[in-house]
C-alpha cells in the first residue's frame, strides 16, 4: 500500500476522549522525567491557562511522526492513540522519532496513568 504524502489529518476529539485523557493523566505531562502540571495560573490574567498538548502515538497524518497509512484515520483521535504531554516533551518525541516508537509511547502512557492512581492514593498497593 502506498503512503499518501502530504495528507493532513482532520482532528476530531470527542468529549469523552478529552475527559478520559486529561483525567487519567491527572492534567500532567506523561513523560516520567517531566510530569509538570499542564494548567498554570498567572495572577492578573485568566485564572487558568492550559499548556498541555495531545500527542498522537500513531501519527495524526500519514506523513507525520510515526505515521502509518494502513491505520484507520478515524481511530487516530481516539483515547487509545493519544498521550498527554507538555509542549517541550511533545516536540522532543516528535523530533526524535526513532527513539520514541509507538510501543514505547504506549508504555510511557500506561506507566504514567498507573503513577497517577498511586499519587491519588487510590491503590493501597502503591504505598
Nearest to 109, CA basis, from 27, 15, 16, 32: 32
Per-residue confidence (pLDDT) for residue 4, from 0 to 100: 42
Question: What 3-state DSSP class applies to 53?
Answer: strand
37 lies in some domain:
yes
- pLDDT < 70: residue spans in the chain: 1-10, 121-127
Per-residue confidence (pLDDT) for residue 2, from 0 to 100: 37
Per-residue confidence (pLDDT) for residue 84, from 0 to 100: 98
8 lies in some domain:
no
Residue 26 contacts residue 116 (beta carbons within 8 Å): yes
3 lies in some domain:
no
What is the pTM (predicted TM-score) of this model? 0.81
53 lies in some domain:
yes
9 lies in some domain:
no
Residue 76 is part of which domain span? 15-126
Amino acid at each position: 500500500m502506498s503512503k499518501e504524502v502530504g495528507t493532513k489529518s482532520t482532528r476530531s476529539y470527542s468529549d469523552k476522549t478529552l475527559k478520559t485523557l486529561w483525567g487519567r493523566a491527572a492534567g500532567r505531562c506523561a513523560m516520567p522525567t517531566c510530569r509538570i502540571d499542564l494548567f498554570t495560573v498567572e495572577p492578573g490574567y485568566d485564572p487558568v491557562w492550559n499548556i498541555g498538548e495531545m500527542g498522537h502515538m500513531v501519527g495524526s497524518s500519514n506523513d507525520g511522526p510515526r505515521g502509518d497509512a494502513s491505520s484507520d484515520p478515524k481511530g487516530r483521535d481516539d483515547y487509545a492513540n493519544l498521550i498527554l504531554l507538555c509542549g517541550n516533551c511533545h516536540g522532543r518525541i516528535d523530533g526524535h522519532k526513532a527513539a520514541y516508537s509507538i510501543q514505547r509511547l504506549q508504555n510511557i502512557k500506561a506507566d504514567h496513568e498507573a503513577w497517577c492512581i498511586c499519587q491519588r492514593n487510590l491503590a493501597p498497593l502503591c504505598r
